[in-house]
Amino acid sequence: MDETPNKNPLGRLIPEKNHFLRTNLGRFNLRKFNLAEFSLNKLNLVKRKIKKIDLTRFSFSRFGLSGKKAGVISVVLLVVLVIVGIQVYNTGYDVYINGIPVGTVRSKAEAKDAIAELTQEIGAGYETGDIVVGAALDIKKVKLSDNRLTDKDVLKKNMMKNISIKRPAVTVMIGGSPVLSIMGREQAEKLLEDIKASFIPDGKGIETDRIYIKEKVELLEQAVDINKLMIYEDAYKFLLNGTTEEKVYTVKKGDSLWLISRNNNISVEDLEKANPGISPKRLQIGQKINMIVPKPFLTVVTEEIATYSEKIPFDTDYKQSSEFYKGESIITKYGKYGKKEVTARIIKENGVEVTREILEETVVEEPVTRLVALGIKPPPPRQGTGTFSYPARGRITSGFGWRWGRRHNGIDIALNSGTPVKASDGGTVKFAGNYGGYGLLVIIDHGEGYETYYGHNSKLLVKKGDKVHKGQTVALSGSTGNTTGPHLHFEVRKFGVPVNPIQYLDQ
C-alpha cells in the first residue's frame, strides 16, 4: 500500500500498514478445534495432558496402529476432548492497540470487528479529506482465570483512546524545528504572509522596502496527529506569542502596575514587555492589560524608508550684563527649535527598531539661539535700605486709592510679559506663589513694618525665605490672576496697611 496519504484520489480512509491483525496465535486455534483437524503427533500439549493422566502404557506411532492400541487411543481422545473443551471455555484474547492493553475478548473476531467498526466510524467523520488511522492491533491468547471479558462498547472506547488519527498536513519548520502543523499548504502560506503583513509599518511618509522572516522557514507536508493540528487563529497567536493562551487583566480602581505585578505574579518588567507603550502613571480603570509576555517563534524584519520632520535643538549664548546683579541669570531672548526633513532607512525586528540609517537631511528652518544675561553688577546688601525704587519702568495705568467705587491698594504698571520685576528694596521673601486675584505674587518683607507686593507675574524667580537685595529680579511680569492684560500690580504696605507707593518711590 502506498504510504503517502495524499495520493489517494478518492479521499477515502487509508489504514496504515500495520492496521490489520498481527496476531500472536498459539500453536493451534482452539476455537476452530474439531476432531478432523486433530493430529496427535503435532500436539505436544495433548501429549502433556496425556502424561498427566498417567497413560504410561500409551505409545505413539503415526501410522499402523494395532487394533488394541486404536481402542486405547479412542479412550485417550475422549479424555483429550474433555480437557480441550474445558480449555476452550477458559481461553480468551487480550487485545492491544499500539502496545496498550484495551481489553479481553472471547474471540479474535470480536477484536477485529471492533477495530473495523471503529475505523469506519472515524472515517465517516472525515469525509472531506484523507485520514490515516494508526492502530496496530495485537492479540494474545490468554487463559481466562475469571470472568473478565470486556464489553464491546468499552473495548471500542479503550481502542479509540489509543488509536492515532493522522491527517495530511503542513508542518511549519522554523530554523529546522517543527513549530506547528496546520491543514494545507495554502493555509500555512497565508499564515506566514499574514504574520509578515501584521508588521508592515504604516503612517505618513513611510514606504516598506522589504519584509522578510529572519529565520529559515520550511513547510513540510506530512501526516500529523489530528490532536496536534492547529486552527488558523491559534497558529497565528502561537507563532507571534509562543502560546495560544490569552490572559488579559482589566484595570480596577486603585490599581498600579506594581500592584498588578504583585497580585498576579508577573514582574513589572514583563508587564511592560507584554504591553509596549504602556504608561505606568496613566493606567485607566477598565483598561485591558496583556498578562502574557510574547515569545515569538519568528522574527519579522521590516526595512522601511521613512520621511519625517525633526526638531533641531537651539544653542544658548550666555552674555555678561551689568544690568543685572551678580548671581542673576535672565533669559533675554527665547530660543526656538529649528526644523529639518529627514529621510532614513529604518530596520525593525517584530516592530522594534534595531537600526536607523539617515539617508538625507534638509534644514527647513534654522534654530534660534537663546540668549541669557549673566548679571555682574555687585549686589547691594540684602536688607531694607529704607528707600524704595520702581520695580519696573512702564506707564502707570492705574493709580492708588478709590477708583470706580473700589479701593485700589497699589499702582498698575503696564509691562510686556516677561519683563524683569525687581525688588523695590532689599529684604526677605515672605510669600512667593499663586494668590487669588493677584495671580503669581511675591511679597517682600523689608523690616520696620514695610512690605512690598508684586502681582500678576508670569514667572517667579524667588521662593519664600530668600534674601533679596534691592534691584534683584524676583519675577517676570505677566497677566496671571484677575487682570485684563499684562501689567505689574505693585503695593507698598506699612504694618499691613496699603499706602500710596508713589509717596515712597525715590526714582
| Minimum CB–partner distance for residue 411 and Zn ion (Å) | 7
Nearer to Zn ion, 110 or 412 (CB): 412
Nearer to Zn ion, 386 or 401 (CB): 401
| Minimum CB–partner distance for residue 443 and Zn ion (Å) | 15
Distance between CA atoms of 326 and 310, rounded to whole angstroms?
38
Contact, 343 vs 305, CB < 8 A?
Answer: yes
Query: Which range, of 18-26, 121-129, 468-476, 484-492, touches Zn ion by CB under 5 A?
Result: 484-492
Nearer to Zn ion, 386 or 399 (CB): 399
| Minimum CB–partner distance for residue 373 and Zn ion (Å) | 28
Nearer to Zn ion, 426 or 439 (CB): 439
Helix (H) and strand (E) counts in the chain: 8, 31
Number of residues that bind Zn ion (CB under 5 A): 2
Q: Which of residues 397-436 bind Zn ion (CB under 5 A)?
A: 412
Binding status of residue 489 toward Zn ion by CB under 5 A: yes
| Minimum CB–partner distance for residue 352 and Zn ion (Å) | 57
**b/e string for 461-495 if b means 16 or more Cβ within 10 A?**
bbeeebebbbbbbbbbbbbbbebeebbbbbbbbee
Nearer to Zn ion, 327 or 485 (CB): 485
| Minimum CB–partner distance for residue 490 and Zn ion (Å) | 8
| Minimum CB–partner distance for residue 435 and Zn ion (Å) | 13
Per-residue contact track with Zn ion, 220 to 249, x per CB under 5 A?
Answer: ------------------------------
Nearer to Zn ion, 311 or 403 (CB): 403
Q: Put residue 361 in one of left, alpha, beta given phi > 0 → left and psi -120 to 50 → alpha.
A: beta
| Minimum CB–partner distance for residue 309 and Zn ion (Å) | 44
Query: Which range, of 98-106, 124-132, 281-289, 485-493, touches Zn ion by CB under 5 A?
Result: 485-493
The C-alpha cell at 244 is 495560544
Query: Which range, of 158-166, 307-315, 423-431, 481-489, touches Zn ion by CB under 5 A?
Result: 481-489
Q: Scanning the structure block, which residue is given the C-alpha cell 512690598? A: 452
Which residue number has the CB closest to Zn ion?
489
Nearer to Zn ion, 456 or 470 (CB): 456
Per-residue contact track with Zn ion, 163 to 182, x per CB under 5 A?
Answer: --------------------
Contact, 272 vs 223, CB < 8 A?
Answer: no
Nearer to Zn ion, 138 or 412 (CB): 412
* Helix, coil or strand: residue 342: strand
Q: CA torsion angle for 378, 382, 387, 388 (degrees, to 10)?
A: 80
Q: Side chain identity at 189, as an amino acid letter?
A: E
Query: Which range, of 74-82, 122-130, 152-160, 489-497, touches Zn ion by CB under 5 A?
Result: 489-497
DSSP string, 443-465: EEEEETTEEEEEEEESEE---TT
Reported residue count of the chain is 507
Contact, 22 vs 97, CB < 8 A?
Answer: no
Q: Which residues contact 296 (CB under 8 A, 6 or more apart)?
A: 239, 240, 241, 242, 350
Which DSSP state fits 73?
Answer: H
Q: Are strands 411-414 and 22-24 parallel, antiparallel or unpaired?
A: unpaired
The C-alpha cell at 288 is 485591558
Binding site for Zn ion (CB under 5 A): 412, 489
